[in-house]
Amino acid sequence: MPTKNRSTLTQFLIEERRKHPDASGDLNALILNVAMACKAIAKAVALGDLGDVLGDHVAGGGAGQSASVNVQGETQKKLDVLSNELFMRMNEWSGHLAGMASEEMELPIDIPAGFPRGKYLLVFDPLDGSSNIDVNVTVGSIFGVLRRPGAVDASDGPPTIADYLQPGSAQVAAGYALYGPTTMLVLSVGTGVFGFTLDPNLGEFMLTHPNIRVPEQTQEFAINASNSRFWEAPVRRYVDECLAGKTGPRGKDFNMRWIASMVAEAHRIMMRGGVFMYPRDTKDPTKAGRLRLMYEANPIGFLIEQAGGRASTGEFPMLGIQPRELHQRIGLVFGSKAEVERIEEYHRNPAAVKNNSPLFAARSLFLSDAP
């Protein structure tokens, strides 16, 4: 279809607003500011080494200094820091936000003095998958939008951390940008999921994927198999059955994928189905999971469920989880609904789980730490 016959992101948002005559338009403007940040990040990612944006970020930039580390204890890449800065600068001035929270920063980001405050809260992972950026693997940005609780007045002070601690079901919008062969913005404002591709000639996101639905049937799963010795029994059972193929209980062959960039995994599942698993395991008993609830699991979960899929901890619906802290970690399973429900069933009935497959026996592909 020629570009001239496609809706721009702006046109799409205007049409959505017309369905709600009382809407102020603030949410539309906020999403357009987020989209602008994503365009700027896409440009930086595309330049790569030509733009001197690859490699670790060194605090202060001095020679001999070690790479900086974020609140998660992870080494920051130059693009992590740049992407975080772009999200803040593109969104702090507009008057639509009461505050922001980033995966890269320990505390919420207050709106600078001199700029008006609005009624929304923006949470974001500015560059998901950045550990792969130096090898030119697809990365992306993830964001969610919440309303600040209570009546909002221009004289209100900055939001508290407690204001951000809302379940994923409270999100009014969520999305991700994908920086790959093409730059895409995949968005939901609570009326389904829509994909927009950046037209580099116009500098506009154009609607290319209306009403995205996660395919119900799948023969793909994604999991980091190197952690198999730490998996809980229900996860072992599920992977065991998939790997058993046509002769196993599932009666069909499965393919295993692992990109180590969750936004890329989510997009593949949006396009052709599948299930992604980064479940709770015993690798570090002090952590309930690897991924961040506020910045990754909730926005992706919102999108997946808006597209007819399911997002879960493996045991409970993801969007119903009440956050306890800003940087809370959690196990995440999402994708084609029937597959996620199967994994939840295996958790509900642990007595039925048996780990007697040769796939997990001694000297097998996935070694078991069981005797």
Tell me: do 99 and 248 sit in the same domain.
no
The reply to whether 131 falls in a domain is yes
The CATH number given to whatever domain includes residue 184 is 3.30.540.10
Tell me: do 318 and 188 sit in the same domain.
no
Cα–Cα distances (Å) from 84 to 74, 77, 126, 128, in that order, read 15, 11, 5, 11
Distance CA 117, CA 109 (A): 12
Which of 209, 239, 255 lies at the terminal end of a domain, its last residue? 209
The reply to whether 281 falls in a domain is yes
Distance CA 74, CA 68 (A): 8
Tell me: do 45 and 149 sit in the same domain.
yes
Tell me: do 43 and 164 sit in the same domain.
yes
In the chain, how many domains are there? 2
Instruction: Take residue 248 and report the two structure tokens written for it.
Output: 């196993």
When pLDDT is cut at 50, 70 and 90, the band that residue 365 belongs to is very low
The reply to whether 371 falls in a domain is no
- Mean pLDDT score, 192-209: 97
Which of 164, 180, 209 lies at the terminal end of a domain, its last residue? 209
Which of 161, 183, 209 lies at the terminal end of a domain, its last residue? 209
Q: What confidence tens digit (pLDDT) does each residue in 225-241 have?
A: 999 999 999 999 999 99
Instruction: Take residue 315 and report the two structure tokens written for it.
Output: 């045991």
> Taking a C-beta distance cutoff of 8 angstroms, is the pair 254, 242 a contact?
yes
Tell me: do 199 and 334 sit in the same domain.
no
- Mean pLDDT score, 184-188: 98
Q: DSSP letter at 266?
A: H
Tell me: do 154 and 300 sit in the same domain.
no
The reply to whether 76 falls in a domain is yes
Mean pLDDT of the chain: 89
Tell me: do 134 and 9 sit in the same domain.
yes
Task: Give the pairing of strands 97-102 and 109-110.
Answer: antiparallel
Distance CA 50, CA 251 (A): 49
Instruction: Take residue 136 and report the two structure tokens written for it.
Output: 């030119």
Tell me: do 32 and 154 sit in the same domain.
yes
Distance of CA 238 to the CA centre of its chain: 23
Whole-number pLDDT of residue 247? 95
The reply to whether 180 falls in a domain is yes
Tell me: do 200 and 253 sit in the same domain.
no
Tell me: do 246 and 114 sit in the same domain.
no
Domain hosting 80: range is: 3-209
Tell me: do 249 and 200 sit in the same domain.
no
DSSP-assigned letters across all residues of 170-233: G-SEEEEEEESSSEEEEEESSS--EEEEEETTTTEEEEEE-S----S---EEE--GGGGGGB-H
> Taking a C-beta distance cutoff of 8 angstroms, is the pair 156, 135 a contact?
no
When pLDDT is cut at 50, 70 and 90, the band that residue 32 belongs to is very high
> Taking a C-beta distance cutoff of 8 angstroms, is the pair 117, 168 a contact?
no
